[in-house]
Structure 1
Amino acid sequence: MIQMRHDELRSFQVGPVPAELRALTISDDREGMLEGTPHLHRRFRLMGIEKELAATPHLYVHDLGKLRADAEGRVEEWLPREAVHARLTSWWKPEDIAEFGHTELSVMWFQTATEDPFAHLATIVRPLDWASLARFVPFGD
């Protein structure tokens, strides 16, 4: 267990950019399901993810290509039950932006209840390119 003071944030390295975790939520990905199949569940989740991606251009969905292929290939294995969303921010900003502000990136993935979401997040974001995925947020927004 990592102990932190209440005023500290967890830091993560996203490529060469240091970022801080601002929010991490874990939800039951099958909440509200009464019946269905793994294939149907993947298709519904993929439709929801596609809708979320359209509304949130700075969202990175880990293994999205695999999720799409599994939905097309009729994989009959259930997705891990937990859907995890993390929001990271950094003081890094593109050189061509003169205004004050920060950049942020949201990350989503699926995992089992036994996995450590913080360790999983570190593994996911380490190879990412913050500059191409994050969006600039000016102060006051």
Structure 2
Amino acid sequence: MTRTSDDGLRGYQVGGVRAELRALSVSDDREGMLEGTPHLHRRFRLRTVEKAMAATAHLYVHDLEKIRADVAGRAEEWLPREAAHARLTSWWTPEGVADPGHTELTVMWFQTAADDPFVRLASIVRPLDWAALARFVPWED
């Protein structure tokens, strides 16, 4: 379930934590591919996901094991071509942290153009464990 907060941000329930959507982007996952096959697209996607995971602390990639299995299985049907990224923040902080700050989590998934990214995000994050996935970000002076 999503709700709009007083400051106009969309709120999402992530496990037992309330988080607010700070950024959402949807892009063409096949951008940069001039030609190829569905299997090549899967390999390209996995490489892109692995680079993103190395560059972004606390990135959750929805269906990561399925993406890896698709590459190994050499499936020959095209994947949905939209890549979506969302950045969520919460005032929840881990136990024992006395510094002021917040926690954040970035979520990545793939979808078709017909899918509503806000609804899809809600269904992805609802069962997640915020405490295990999010990172603490201290306030900077």
Q: Structures share a fold, TM > 0.5? A: yes
Match in the other structure for 1:111:
111
Aligned match of 2:21: 21
What is residue 71 of structure 1 aligned with on the other side? 71
Identity %: 73
In structure 2, C-alpha distance between the alignment counterparts of 1:80 and 1:12, rounded to whole Å: 24
Is 2:10–2:21's contact at 8 Å kept on the other side of the alignment? yes
In the superposition, the TM-score normalised over structure 2's length comes to: 0.93
Report the CA distance between 1:57 and its aligned residue. 2.7
Structure 2, gaps ≥5 residues long: none
Residues 5 and 62 of structure 1: CA distance in aligned 2, closer, same or farther (over 3 Å): closer
Supply the distance in 2 between the matched residues of 1:54 and 1:120 (Cα, whole angstroms).
24
Unmatched runs of 5 consecutive residues or more in structure 1? none
Cα distance in 1 for partners of 2:137, 2:78 equals: 37
Contact 2:86 2:106 in 1 (8 A): yes
Structure 1 position 25, deviation (Å): 0.2
5 Å-filtered alignment, 1:2-17, equals 7-17=7-17
Please give the residue correspondences for 1:78-97 in structure 2 after superposition, counting only pairs within 5 Å. 78-97=78-97
3-state SS of paired residue (2:119): helix
The match for 1:40 is: 40
Deviation at 1:32, TM superposition (A): 2.2
The verdict on how the C-alpha distance between 1:107 and 1:5 changes in structure 2, with shifts beyond 3 A counting, is closer
Residue identity opposite 1:40 in structure 2 = L
CA–CA separation in structure 2 for the residues paired with 1:36 and 1:80: 15
AA aligned opposite 1:43: R
Q: For the structure 1 residues 6 and 99, does the alpha-carbon distance in structure 2 shift closer, same or farther, using more than 3 Å as the test?
A: closer
